[in-house]
Structure 1
Amino acid sequence: MRLMAFLLLLLPFSVQAADLRIGVKEDIPYFGYYNAKGERAGIEVDFGKELAKFLGRSPKFISVSSSQRIPFLQANKLDVVIATFSITPDRSKEVAFSEPYFETGQSVMVLADSPIQSIQDLSSKKVGVVKGATSGPQLLKAQPQARLVEYKTYYEAYLELLFGQVDAISTDEVVLRGLKAIGEGAAVKLEQRKGRRPVFLLDLNRYTPGNRLRIIRPSLSHEKYGIAVRKGSPLLDKINAWLASPSGRHTLRDIIQRHLGGES
């Protein structure tokens, strides 16, 4: 009887240990955001659910900003990060990445009536970027005279562009595409959450492409997103095996098709 009582006391901790703690974004339309019902949604949220199922664990999603991804992994607050995390040599020194699951390129977005037509036009202009992302350094390589303004979230940078506090914002094109959708019908409301920054609740099915914002092309760089884990984590081989398997590839294609219509 005493042994049974002891095991029952340990049960909640055992269940908690089985959770797969997944770091995701909450401000990236199509990838990690809150839908009109206030539920987490997006490619990387769905991908995290499928990965947890493959590993036989329950997904526990934790919101992360770009600058929190590596520290949260290293502090053992997360098991994996699936958060538009571009694979770079510098980051690979601190965390381990899976094989890529999505490819895109960095671009710049401006208001539709902006005189800015190219990267060269950003000289002396204020460009919003997110702290901890690769966007700032990449932009300065292309236009050293740009004046970077760092924000914690993409929503903050997006709103500052709308209010004229910056001349442009720069990040991956697929992210800009999602931010553009917010201002062209997708936003249901801006919800204030207790103790946290406000988030948009989105219905991306309401998005009708308009002329409020404009994305400048061509892309500045080629980005590959990977799933990040701690160095030496046994999860890495399992994740790569799943990504390489027919079922894993089919699942990923299906998720991307559902959210982006097949863009990758």
Structure 2
Amino acid sequence: MLKHSVLAAALAAACLLGGTAVRADQLDDIMAAKKIRISTDLAIPPSGMMDGSMKPVGSDVETAELLAKDLGLEIEWVQTTGATRIPNLQTNKADIVISTLSVTPERAKVVDFTAPYAALQSVVGGLKTLDVKNWDDLKGKTIAVSRGTTQDTALTNRAKDGGGFNVARYDDDATMVTAAVTGQADFVATSATIVNQVGVKNPARAFEPKVLITTFDLAMGVKKGEPRLVAKLNEWIAENIKNGKLNAIYKKYHGTDLPENMRGAS
């Protein structure tokens, strides 16, 4: 009986170890499926948008397409907003997020980040006709922001410290921009690129960056505990920064080069 018990225990342990050894992680799952589910907001030009034929385009879209092509994978787009990017990873709706996702300590507690593939200048933008140069000039004003973004966090913290302005929250960048275009908002907190889009949509209400909030690295987001997937993505990012392809995509849509310290990376 003792021999049988020892043998059974040994077999159980072997099965357990064997099961652990052959368990496929997310990178294995993606490569086996020959498809990668990428969460991207397609309503925040020029990073993500739909063209006249309803085809996804933009800097994040082209970055995702280049990644999928290099890995030999098909893309399944998972539409998102600023507030649902991280939940899409946590609920396994998406494999990765490529959607102007800024790297912050708070987010790093719940998702893992790759190396940066782009950068974002976060600003308060307003009508060109308004004389605003600093935070003091924004006292008594209402600033529109997309809910759940880093700009929302920054405004909330500053308001708590006596910022003296009001915050109007919108569910996504598209509705926030619409508010600016239609005259419902004279100030928005978002990326400098999106600020410039207001005047493109309505030349009579041209906006410009007024106050710098901060400059963020943009990285791909991955569910916690997938180091092989993060390493694979980092390898791809390093190669495509070095060969200039990521800089070319960024400049095509944003009109400027990536920060010099990024372009010098390898």
Q: Does 2:203 correspond to 1:213?
A: no
> Could you say what secondary structure the match of 1:220 adopts?
strand
State the shift of 1:140 in Å: 4.3
> Could you say what secondary structure the match of 1:177 adopts?
helix
**Match of 1:128?**
144
Contact (CA 8 Å) 1:28, 1:178: kept in 2 or not? no
What is the identity, as a one-letter code, of the residue corresponding to 1:45? V
> Using the alignment, how far apart are the partners of 2:43 and 2:192 within structure 1?
15
Please, what TM-score do these two structures have when normalized by structure 1?
Answer: 0.77
**Match of 2:43?**
27
> Could you say what secondary structure the match of 1:67 adopts?
helix
Map 1:123-202 to 2 at 5 A: 123-142=139-158, 144-184=163-203
State the shift of 1:141 in Å: 4.5
What is the identity, as a one-letter code, of the residue corresponding to 2:253? H
> Could you say what secondary structure the match of 2:130 adopts?
coil
Contact (CA 8 Å) 1:31, 1:43: kept in 2 or not? yes
Q: In terms of Rg, which structure is larger?
A: 2
Describe the superposition over 1:20-69 as per-residue Cα deviations: whole angstroms up to 9, x where unpaired.
Answer: 00011112112100112221100111110111122221111121000101
State the shift of 1:260 in Å: 2.9
> Using the alignment, how far apart are the partners of 1:104 and 1:30 within structure 2?
12
> Using the alignment, how far apart are the partners of 2:166 and 2:58 within structure 1?
32
State the shift of 1:248 in Å: 6.3
Contact (CA 8 Å) 1:112, 1:213: kept in 2 or not? yes
> Using the alignment, how far apart are the partners of 1:28 and 1:34 within structure 2?
10
> Could you say what secondary structure the match of 2:213 adopts?
coil
Contact (CA 8 Å) 2:251, 2:257: kept in 1 or not? yes
Describe the superposition over 1:58-84 as per-residue Cα deviations: whole angstroms up to 9, x where unpaired.
Answer: 111121000101111010000010000
**Match of 1:10?**
none
State the shift of 1:172 in Å: 1.5
What is the identity, as a one-letter code, of the residue corresponding to 2:215? H
Map 1:70-149 to 2 at 5 A: 70-142=86-158, 144-149=163-168
> Using the alignment, how far apart are the partners of 1:218 and 1:145 within structure 2?
15
Pick aligned residue for 1:255 from 245, 249, 262: 249
Describe the superposition over 1:95-140 as per-residue Cα deviations: whole angstroms up to 9, x where unpaired.
Answer: 1111111123211222233354433222232111001101022234
Deviates more, 1:57-66 or 1:240-249: 240-249
> Could you say what secondary structure the match of 1:137 adopts?
helix
Q: Does 2:257 correspond to 1:239?
A: no
> Using the alignment, how far apart are the partners of 1:177 and 1:148 within structure 2?
20
> Could you say what secondary structure the match of 2:188 adopts?
strand
Higher helix share: 2
> Using the alignment, how far apart are the partners of 1:140 and 1:242 within structure 2?
36
Describe the superposition over 1:130-168 as per-residue Cα deviations: whole angstroms up to 9, x where unpaired.
Answer: 011010222345562221111112121122223333331
Contact (CA 8 Å) 2:110, 2:224: kept in 1 or not? yes
> Could you say what secondary structure the match of 2:233 adopts?
helix
Q: How many residues align?
A: 226
> Using the alignment, how far apart are the partners of 1:87 and 1:77 within structure 2?
21
Long gaps (5+) in structure 2: 1-29, 259-266
**Match of 1:226?**
219
State the shift of 1:90 in Å: 0.4
Contact (CA 8 Å) 1:98, 1:239: kept in 2 or not? yes
Contact (CA 8 Å) 1:131, 1:152: kept in 2 or not? yes
Please, what TM-score do these two structures have when normalized by structure 2?
Answer: 0.77
> Using the alignment, how far apart are the partners of 1:44 and 1:246 within structure 2?
14
Long gaps (5+) in structure 1: 1-13, 185-210
Pick aligned residue for 1:58 from 74, 99, 112: 74
> Could you say what secondary structure the match of 1:71 adopts?
helix
